[in-house]
Structure 1
Amino acid sequence: MSTETTAVLRRACEQVGLNHGAAELIRAGENDLYRLPGGVVARISRPGQVSAAAKELRVTRWLAGTQVPAVRPWGEQDAPVVVGERAVTFWHELPPHEQGSTTDVAGLLRELHSLDLPDGMDLPELAPFVRVAERIDGATWLDPQDRDWLRKRLAELQDTYQELPAGIPWRLVHGDAWRGNVATTAGGPILMDFERCAYGPPEWDLVSTAVAHVTTGWLTTEQWTDYCRTYGYDVTTWDGFEVLRDIRELRMTTTAAQIAERDPDRRGQCIHRLACLQGHRGSRPWESWSAVP
């Protein structure tokens, strides 16, 4: 456990009257999750994410009155507890579950994208390039020429995104819709992690799974067909698909670069992804893309 986040957890629990003495680390990553006694989960953000945590609470409280099954905030908390620069939110622990399927993701997105935002729901516009530049700059282990290439590619895609062709009307989007953010319980699938929730093109959510078929080959044609049938649309037929696909691929590569900065064993995977983007590994789908934590 991180000494820093356990200290944050202690102070946040004291403020809301929760017992932290038997806290158990569930996951350490972009956010640290701790299981507390009484069926409560504490989520500790990285520094500087207070507004994103507040947004998650607003959105999930609203979703509780819709047909979209989503994680539920604990108690009456309507704002995160702020300790230093970190935001702490508390959630009802999910019942026994496993990772959702791709069709679960499609079904939940179909319901989510059908919702009309209520008056007064203040959502930021989708930010598809959030933290990409920071990840490039932070990957000091990369060859300087490769980092320069990534910066140039980022600038190209930022320009191209501004000319994105028309598609499905903009609406509420999850922002990070993949199997890892869906929990399948005995009562059905539940959508989680609304940190990137925003107002934007629904295609962004769909491309997240599409790259698992067209880019990495992680999904078979049959699985992709089932996904499209469940949602009711094949995003790869849209004129703007390649733009969002390329942005997703860049995000996946810079995420690997960030992880490899602290875990040298992951550097080979990042270098492989980068070589694919640079055109040195033939055409898609590219083999040997493996998941990084």
Structure 2
Amino acid sequence: MKLIGLADAQGAITVADRVTDSEALVLGGLAEFWEDPAGHIERAGRAEGERVRVADFAVVPPVLPDARVICIGLNYRKHHAEGSYSGEAFPEYPTLFARWTRSLTVAGTPVPVPSNEAGLDWEGEVAAFVGTDLVDADPDEALAAVVGYAAFNDITSRRAQKLSSQWILGKNGDLSGPLGPLVPADEVGDLRDGLRVVTRVNGEIVQDGNTRDLVYDVGNTLSLISHTLTLRAGDVLATGTPEGVGYSRTPPWLLQPGDEVSVEAERLGVLANPITDSAARTRG
């Protein structure tokens, strides 16, 4: 099952199971789906709902506009070692930063390089979707609340990221967060058991990691967050990227207009996007 958002000409979004490349099974409106995601996924398993042509809609992330997209930084030991934090001990708690939902996009969308960046950096990841509200949850409860996972590319503007100790500017470029379809958690399993995550640039493997190497796991991280802010159904946790990013190479290797970057996550599919210049940035 691969759940996507479908936007009609008026901008109304439904959530649908993409049963083939050309056809999808409608599960419900976006807000309706996130009121009971597990129930809608169960009905999708029974193939209940209207079938529509994907080509009649714009494919968008199945994410609520007010969802929190919380990202874990430096969550693989080898990625930590390849950057400016090399030699430092891992902190007790994860580094967390936020993305706004307007930075998200889907496979196939051209990702623009901002005019003042030398290029963009890739960060292949797995993202987890929260399926129920969480308040002061313990790690087991928090993990059980995850309704699905998706491939994610946390494409980063490194110049902007390094302007200060806060990463948010460099992590929220226009269309810089490609997010794949939501695959139900029971089809994916526990990330601690290991999913291979491979990033390619123009077909060349640049990252080849495995989620079994995550330092801060999904359940413990969601539990930590839930003790400060209430997590809602539809919130997203990006779990971090393995080693192999471009800025740490000698010389640095950054994505340029004309490149294609893809993230292939085991059981979650392939998420591929072309890179374009700043003229393609969203306006208004």
**Above 0.5 in TM-score?**
no
- TM-score using structure 2 length: 0.28
Greater RCO, CA 8 A, separation 6+: 2
- TM-score using structure 1 length: 0.27
Q: Kindly indicate which of the two structures has a greater share of residues assigned to strand.
A: 2
Q: Kindly indicate which of the two structures has a greater share of residues assigned to helix.
A: 1
